Amino acid sequence: MAMNSRFKFNFGRIEYDLSTRTFIMGILNVTPDSFSDGGKYLEPEKAIEHAKRMIEDGADIIDVGGESTRPGSDPVRLEEELQRVVPVIKELSKVVNVPISIDTYKSKVAEAALDAGACVVNDISAMTFDSDMVKVVKKYGASVVLMHIKGTPKNMQENPTYDNVIEEILKYLMDRVNVARDNGIKQIIIDPGIGFGKRFEHNIEIIRNLKVFREIGYPLLVGPSRKSFIGNILNLPPAERVEGTAAAVTACILNGANIVRVHDVKEMKRVAMVADALKSRTNQ
C-alpha cells in the first residue's frame, strides 16, 4: 500500500513535499462555541486578519471550520455552516498564497468551500458521516484528511473503549484509505484523531505509537493543540496550554508527524523547526 516516500502534494498552484519538514496547519474557527477560541473570529474581517497573521507566523495551510466538533457539541444546520465558512474562504483565497482547507464532514459544505477556493477537505469522519463526500472530493480533485473518530462529537467522549486502540485506529484508517483510493482520490492525509472518542490514556498511547500509522504510507497529520489531555496533565484551561502543546507537538514530530494542526502558530512553528533539527534522518 505504501506510496513513494517523497510526499509531493499539489495544492492548486502550490506544491509541498510533506516529507521535507513539519508543515503547520493553522486553525481558523469561525464558530461561536469552539472549545478554545469560539466566538473570536465570527466576523469575516476578523477571521481573514487572523488567517493573514497565522501565515506571517509560519502557517503552511489554513484550516477553516464552521462547526464546533468539541465533545458534546450539537450539529450545526447546513445553511448556518455555509454562511460562516463560504464568505471567509472566498475572500481568503483572493488574498493569501497558501492552501485553504475546509474542516467539515458535510459534502455540500465541502463542495461550496471547494468552489470558493479551498483545495483540502479535512473530514473528522473520514468520509463516513456523509456518503456523498467521496464524490465531491473526487469531482474537485481535492486532497482529503481522513481522521479516526469513535462515535460522533455529541457522544464520542461518553465511554470510549478499545481492545487495542492502536490496532483499531490503524485498521480503520487503512480501510478508509482503500475507499478513497478505490474512488480515484490521490492526495490522502491520515489523522489518528487525538481527543475524538479517546480517553486520556488513549491519546498518550497514540502519540507514543505514531510511527505505526506511517506504515499506511501516507502523510500523517496530528492535532494535539490545547486538547483536554494536556489540560488534565497541567490542570490548566485551554488558553494556558501553550507549553503543554509545545511538548506534545515535539513528541508528535519526533514520532513521525508530517503536519501539526495548531492554534498557536508562531510558537509551534518555532517548536517544529527545533524538533525537525533534532529528528534523525531515519525517522523522517
Query: What single-letter DSSP state applies at residue 30?
Result: -
Please determine, for residue 238, whether its predicted confidence score (pLDDT) is greater than 60: yes
Query: What single-letter DSSP state applies at residue 220?
Result: B
Q: What whole-number percentage of the chain has pLDDT above 70?
A: 93
Question: Is 227 among the catalytic positions?
Answer: yes
Residue for grid cell 534522518: 281
**What pLDDT, in 10s, does the model give residues 59-81?**
999 999 999 887 777 888 999 99
CATH number of this structure's domain 8-277, picked from the four choices 3.40.109.10, 3.40.50.720, 3.20.20.20, 1.10.10.1200: 3.20.20.20
33 confidence band (pLDDT: 50, 70, 90)? low
Question: Is 261 among the catalytic positions?
Answer: yes
Q: Hey, where are the domains in the chain?
A: 8-277
**What pLDDT, in 10s, does the model give residues 127-169?**
999 999 999 999 999 999 999 999 888 888 888 899 999 999 9
- For position 68, what pLDDT does the model report? 81
Q: Which residue has the higher pLDDT, 5 or 232?
A: 232
- For position 282, what pLDDT does the model report? 45
- For position 40, what pLDDT does the model report? 62
Catalytic residue among 150, 198, 261, 269: 261
C-alpha cell read off for 248: 506534545
Catalytic residue among 21, 106, 227, 269: 227
3-state class percentages of the chain: helix first, strand second, coil last, to nearest 5? 45, 15, 40
> What average pLDDT is seen over the chain?
92
- Cα-to-chain-centroid distance, residue 262: 9
